[in-house]
């Protein structure tokens, strides 16, 4: 897809959806953004938003979480699912931040991806939402799926999808792409039942165009 069309898609989505971060994560709080983004894997915004205040009232700093008992942390974050693994990750990340990073959440992609439980998606979200810098585009299941449907990429590997999106969209909007596509995926482009008839992107969507051609050919055969 050419950049002009991609920018039109971005502008259309940006006009439709508010700028949000998953799980009620606050801007400007690197530690909070990091922990809640790790917890957001394979769960709902509601579950993450529910456990966040309790978790941070008990463990408000990396130092406090680094010294926490995994069992106690696990019970607090149980509603997010996979709570034992997530407890190990957030405690391990806190310990590395304290022991190796001077108590501050790293400000680079390489630094962040060294932390337990942090891949490129989480690192990109932290950089964008906590520090206002964009080294890449966070690619999750919504972004990967919708990017393929629209024709923004033909890849399935998240890093290759990210590379294509970074090539197509101007850098100044990289930080918005994940949130916009996630919201569109939840509201309209639902995985098992996309609401193509209500989609504001249908004009530029490869899937919609190809499905129309298939339906047209089927209709011609029955006549």
What ranges do the domains of the chain cover? 3-19+138-211, 30-131
Catalytic residue, chosen from 86, 121, 134, 176, is 121
Candidates 1.10.1670.10, 1.10.287.610, 3.10.620.30, 2.60.120.1440; CATH matching 3-19+138-211 = 1.10.1670.10
Instruction: Report pLDDT digits (tens) over 3-13.
Output: 999 999 999 99
Please state, in angstroms and rounded to a whole number, the distance separating the CA atoms of residues 150 and 204: 7
Catalytic residue, chosen from 86, 134, 140, 176, is 140
Say if CB 175 and CB 128 are below 8 A apart. Answer: yes
CATH of domain 30-131: 1.10.340.30
Whether residue 205 is annotated as binding a ligand: the answer is yes
Please state, in angstroms and rounded to a whole number, the distance separating the CA atoms of residues 199 and 150: 11
Say if CB 128 and CB 138 are below 8 A apart. Answer: yes
Q: What are the DSSP E strand ranges found in the chain? A: none
Q: Does the pLDDT at position 104 exceed 50?
A: yes
- Let me know if 140 is a catalytic residue: yes
158-168 and 141-150 are packed helices; what angle lies between their axes, rounded to 10 degrees?
60
- Let me know if 221 is a catalytic residue: no
The pLDDT confidence band at residue 23, using thresholds 50, 70 and 90, is very low
Whether residue 196 is annotated as binding a ligand: the answer is yes
The pLDDT confidence band at residue 18, using thresholds 50, 70 and 90, is confident
Whether residue 7 is annotated as binding a ligand: the answer is no
Mean pLDDT to the nearest integer, 88-99: 98
Please state, in angstroms and rounded to a whole number, the distance separating the CA atoms of residues 215 and 210: 9
DSSP collapsed to 3 states, 62-98: HHHHHCCCHHHHHHHHHHHCCHHHHHHHHHHHHHHHH
């Amino acid at each position: 897809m050419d950049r002009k069309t991609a920018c039109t898609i971005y502008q259309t989505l940006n006009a439709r959806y508010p700028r949000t971060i998953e799980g009620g994560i606050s801007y400007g709080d690197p530690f909070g953004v990091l922990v809640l983004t790790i917890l957001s894997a394979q769960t709902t915004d509601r579950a993450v938003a529910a456990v966040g205040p309790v978790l941070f009232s008990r463990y408000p700093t990396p130092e406090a979480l680094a010294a926490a008992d995994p069992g106690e942390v696990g019970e607090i974050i149980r509603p997010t699912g996979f709570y034992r693994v997530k407890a190990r990750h957030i405690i391990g990340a806190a310990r590395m931040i304290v022991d190796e990073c001077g108590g501050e959440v790293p400000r680079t992609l390489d630094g962040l991806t060294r932390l337990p439980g942090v891949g490129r998606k989480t690192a990109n979200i932290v950089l964008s939402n906590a520090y206002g810098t964009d080294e890449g585009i966070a690619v999750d299941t919504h972004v990967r799926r919708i990017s393929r449907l629209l024709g923004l990429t033909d890849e399935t590997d998240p890093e290759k999808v990210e590379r294509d999106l970074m090539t197509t969209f101007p850098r100044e909007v990289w930080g918005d792409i994940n949130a916009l596509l996630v919201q569109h995926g939840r509201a309209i482009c639902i995985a098992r039942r996309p609401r193509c008839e209500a989609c504001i992107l249908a004009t530029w969507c490869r899937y919609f165009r190809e499905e129309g051609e298939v339906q047209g050919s089927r209709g011609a055969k029955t006549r």
